[in-house]
Amino acid sequence: MMKALVYRRFGAADVLEWVDDWPYPELSGDTVLVETVAGSVNPKDVLMRTGKFRRTLARDPLPRASGLDVSGRVVAVGERVSGFSVGDAVFGMTNHFSGGVHVEVARFQQGEIQHAPENVSLEAASAVPLAAQTALQALRDCCAVTKGQRVLINGASGGVGHFAVQIARAMGLETHAVCGPSNVDFVKSLGADAVYDYTNTPAVEVRSRFDAVFDVFGKFTGSMFSDQLERGGVYVSTVPKIPTLGGELVARLGVKTSSRLVQVQSNSQDLLQIKTWIEQGLLQPHVQRSFPVEDAAQAHRQIESKRTVGKVCIALGAA
C-alpha cells in the first residue's frame, strides 16, 4: 500500500484526502514506476473532482486518486522499456482521462514521460507537462503556425497561457498577448511583442490581424475573431463548445477548418522538445505557489479562483 491524494465522492475541494492505504501500482512490460516529488494542479483536476464527465469520458469508480502530471524519480522499469533507469529524474503526464498520479508511486507508459530538465528543480518540472504540452500542441498542431506569423494569445498569464507566450516566441512567432491589468508586466517579461490589458482592450477588440488566435480561457468563439483572422487563420480553444467541437470533428476528418479544440496528449517527443527549450533558457515554468500535500484542498481552491499566475504545485514527496 502507499499514500495517495484521493476523493471518495464528488464535491468541493474539501473532499480531497491524503490517505496511506492506496494500492501500490503493478509494473508491466512497457510501464515505468515513478516515486513522485511534486505534482501540479490543473483546471481538469477540479473538473474531475466535481464529477464532470463522470457519465462519459471519466467513468472510473470512486474512490479515485487525483492528479494528471508529476515529477519524480524512477523506481522500477518494465522489461520492454528502454531509455529509463532506476534513479532517473523524470517528468510526465498520464493520458488516463481521470488522472490518478498524485500518489506516492505513479505508473506511466514509457511514452508519457521524459527525463526532467537539468536546470530547474523537480518541483518546477512538475508544473510543466500538461500545460506546456497543451500550449505546444495548440500552436503547432491546431494553429499550424510557422515562423514569422502572428498569433494572439488570450489568457496569457495562467498555466497554459504563460507557456504559450514563451513557446510562441521559441517558434519564432510574433506574439500578442491578452491578460489582466495586474499581470501585464509579467507577460511582457515572458517575451510577448505586445500585451493588452483585457479591461481596456479585450481580445476581440485588438486592432490587428493574426494568423491564429489561441483562446486559452475559451471565453470566445472563432466567429468573434472574423475581422482579426487572416484568410486561412485558425481559432483554437481549450474549452469544448459546440463550434469548437464541430470544428475539431471536421479537422479530424481531414478537412481544413477555422475552429479547433486542443485535446492534449502526453508524448515523450513533445516533452523532449519542451525540456530542450527549458535547458536552452527559452522556456521557464513559473510556480506561483507550492502547497504541502496536506493543504491540497487549498491548492485546488487557488485554481478555482481563476487568479493564478503561472502554475500551482503540490509537494508529494522528498525532493
Q: What is the pLDDT of residue 252?
A: 74
Looking at residue 251, what is its pLDDT? 73
Residues in the chain predicted with pLDDT less than 70, given as ranges, are 242
Cα–Cα dist 238/251, whole Å: 15
| Nearest Cα to Cα of residue 92 among 58, 60, 122 | 122
Q: Provide the pLDDT for residue 249.
A: 78
Residues whose CB is less than 8 angstroms from the CB of residue 205 and which lie 6 or more positions away in sequence, other chains included: none
Global pTM value: 0.96
User: How would you classify the pairing of strands 210-215 and 229-237?
Assistant: parallel
Q: What is the pLDDT of residue 319?
A: 73
Scanning the structure block, which residue is given the C-alpha cell 480553444? 237
pLDDT for position 258: 87
